[in-house]
A and B are shown apart, each in its own frame.
Chain A
Amino acid sequence: MTEPTLLPGATPRLDPRDMRHLADAQVNVELDTGDMILNLGPQHPATHGTLRLVVRLDGERVIAADPVIGYMHRGYEKLTEVRSYPQITTLINRIDWLSSFANEVPFIHAAEQLMGIEAPPRAQYIRTILTELSRIATFVLFLGEMGLQVGALTPAFYGFRDREHVLNLIESATGGRFHPNFNRIGGLKDDLPWGWVNETRSTMKLVLDGCDVFDRLVAGNEIFEARTRGVGIIPGALGASYGVSGSNLRASGVDWDLRRDGKPYLVYPELDFKVWTHPDGDSFARYWVRLQETRESVRMVVQMLDQMPEGPIMAKVPRIIKVPAGEAWVETENPLGQMGYYVVSKGAIGPFRVKIRSASFSNVSILPWLLRGVYVPDVITILGSLYFILGDIDR
């Protein structure tokens, strides 16, 4: 148990939300309502795992919120030090379990950099396709589930339905629905199965149709807009200094996507895609950006299916993977944001130190700032719209 002390607030701020609720605040002051401490979680459907949120309330408004994390801490940074490189991909699959494949890529990439190996082009293409499929699976679930957070049950089923299509693809290619463990240093475990490309093309059409459904059913819904517009506004500069990344930051108007702006990785430099941003920074913007990014990912997958070269899927690697001494920092744009591994090797078959930079950890660290002054139902909206995975926070 942590002590129930709450984070002291930073500087007071004025935003439209405050103005809107000024009258209520006035009433609360006059009635002199006492503070109440409310525990959200550790089990709550909006938290994707076990996140506990200690919230101090004044009436219906949040005065201070303190996320309590660590219920799922598995100590991956310690565990990586007692494993060999090929064994570690199994672990890091479980960091962000909705997009496991995307977790493997930066780590494998770091090891390959240190070894001076590059995966053959076809392997790079397949990696990119599977990364984008992971993104689609993750986002489609979000697009449905976000409706659930604000009280609309139906979209959630569409979300799960569409994700199922994509997971089937991932499963038929890698053998694992959630934890593919498909990357190898120097390439991939297997080539794609027969017929996979055509199946993917038709599934991408289904996903696009699904996006249209979400567009009309959720984003175009009056109630949804009323519940999400102006709720949980993250200013772009502040978000960046908190380390908020990915769609959350792009929804705050920061035009930054590592697929385009980072060090070139996978085959993204060869692809034509647009980076979507939204100036508002509220929950609706985060929903809208992810919706557009899902469509963009579909476009990218189709492009890659057209361009994918033939060839080997594994580079020549030694039987025993020994990584020369050195250190490498590799960051990628994962569905939930910037994911990075700082790998320090001393020339052994296992790394000396791996710093895992996961997206949700930083995305959630802005919560104490973000939740001050909002209403209780908006807490759930904000949690849902930030879209984090507990495994990605606790590692």
Chain B
Amino acid sequence: MPDDTTPPDTDAAADEATSGAADPAPAGSPAPGEVVGFEAPVEAGTEQSGAAAEERAEQRVAETDEPAAAEAAQARADPTGEAPTQADEPEGPAPLSDEEQALLDRLEAELGEAVVESASAFGNLVVRVRADSWRRAAEVSQAALGCDYLSFVAGIDWQPAPREGGEVGGASSAPVQPTETTYGAAGSAGRFQVFAHVQSTGRHVGLTLKADVDEAEPVVESWVGVYPGADWHERECWEMYGFVFDGHPNLRHLYLPSGFEGHPLRKDFPLLARQVKPWPGIVDVESMPDEAPPDGDAGDGEGEGDEVTTGDEATAADSPPDAPSDGEAETGDATP
């Protein structure tokens, strides 16, 4: 292990230097922003609790104030959003475990500045890498971290789904979701992300890798050359999200018929079954006689925190896990 540390390290540095020089734009991280994003998680650790993540993501959204459309603007605004994040960190987040920290250190030694952000989600290390290092991240995971096993490659669309059947919560096409764009562990710069989980069968460690995917030109490097099992996962992701995997030998439909149009797992792809018939779970959000009415009755409930004060006592009384209602106050979807 120690022997092969140095050569790839310099390699990586050289790699990064060249790629950084070639196009500084795509990952949207000018030099100062990069340093912050790369340093912050290491020293301060990152969050454990979902509420904290929510809060932080909210804050960033508020900072940048983007309507999930102009991803270039987001990319530019991202480093500025990073600064208050760092100030927040000491209070909320739980630190990485030793095991996670060791993995992250190793990954950073190899990838250098390509590691954008990292977090621990319930004992699972989540690392966001720059899109142009996606394939390199796989190679490093396999060679340096010993992660020989590929669990999956998948995509995610962070844009909230449009509500069908009016803006009344509950009568929508689905369980009420917040309409603001928030991002999960390790953040995101835009709407689309590709994420994958790899692990080691011998050392019993694993991590989730994430990379941002440009909305206008959703091209990602393929992992097939590293993990042959990525073949089908990437085909699925291609048809479900429309991500093009550069270097994939055979991108064709896997599940869907070959003439299928659209990308079903994108949030703006309508689910026909929900358009003809409202969500059957609507009965589940009716209020109990002794509880405050759900926000569905009070219009769309997106005005910041109009329901929260009424719901607070009841929530605190019978549902301890819901207690961190600060995050909810911001999302404005508090049901009971």
Hey, which bits of chain A sit against chain B, CB under 8 A?
A: 1-3, 7-8, 10, 69-70, 73, 75, 77-79, 81-84, 87, 113-117, 237-238, 240-245, 249, 254-256, 261-263, 316-320, 322, 324-329, 331, 338, 340, 342, 344-350, 352-353, 355, 357, 361-362, 365-366, 369, 394
Q: Is B265 an interface residue (CB 8 A)?
A: yes
Of the listed stretches B7-15, B16-24, B73-81, B168-176, name the one at the interface; the rest are far from the partner chain.
Answer: B168-176
Q: Which A residues are CB-close (under 8 A) to B227?
A: 241-243
Q: Which of B162-221 contact A (CB under 8 A)?
A: 173-178, 182, 184-185, 195, 197, 201-202, 204, 208
A243 to chain B, nearest CB (A): 4
Assess whether B54 is in contact with A84, with CB atoms less than 8 Å apart: no
User: Which of A77, A316, A348 is most buried by chain B, counting CB atoms within 10 A of its CB?
Assistant: A348
A355/B154 in contact, CB under 8 A: yes
Residues on the A chain within 8 Å of B256, using CB: 70, 73
| SS of B interface (majority) | loop
- Which of these, A69, A243, A329, A357, contacts B254 with CB under 8 Å? A69
Q: What is the CA–CA distance of A303 and B226 in the complex, to the nearest angstrom?
A: 42
Q: Is the CB of A348 within 8 A of B178?
A: yes
B223-239 at interface with A (beta carbon < 8 Å): 226-229, 231-232
Chain B residue nearest to A318 (CB atoms) is B319
- 24 A-B interface contacts by CB (under 8 A): A8-B249, A8-B250, A79-B271, A240-B149, A240-B150, A242-B228, A263-B123, A320-B285, A322-B336, A328-B122, A329-B121, A329-B122, A329-B208, A342-B208, A344-B156, A347-B50, A347-B54, A348-B176, A349-B281, A350-B175, A350-B177, A353-B157, A355-B154, A365-B232
Determine the residue in chain B with the shortest Cβ distance to A242. Answer: B229
B interface residue numbers (CB < 8 A to A): 49-51, 53-54, 121-124, 126, 142, 148-152, 154, 156-157, 161, 173-178, 182, 184-185, 195, 197, 201-202, 204, 208, 226-229, 231-232, 240, 249-250, 252-258, 264-265, 269, 271, 274, 279, 281, 284-285, 288, 318-322, 324, 327-328, 331, 333, 335-336
9 further interface pairs, Cβ-Cβ under 8 Å (given A244-B229, A344-B156, A347-B54): A2-B253, A83-B281, A241-B229, A243-B149, A243-B150, A319-B336, A329-B124, A355-B152, A362-B229
B331 touches A346 (CB 8 A): yes
Complex Cα distance, B54 from A20, in Å, reads 61
Interface pair A81/B174, CB less than 8 Å apart: yes
Q: Chain B residue with minimal CB distance to A185?
A: B321
Residues of A within 8 A of B324 (CB): 324
Q: How far is the CA of A117 from the CA of B322 in the complex (A)?
A: 11
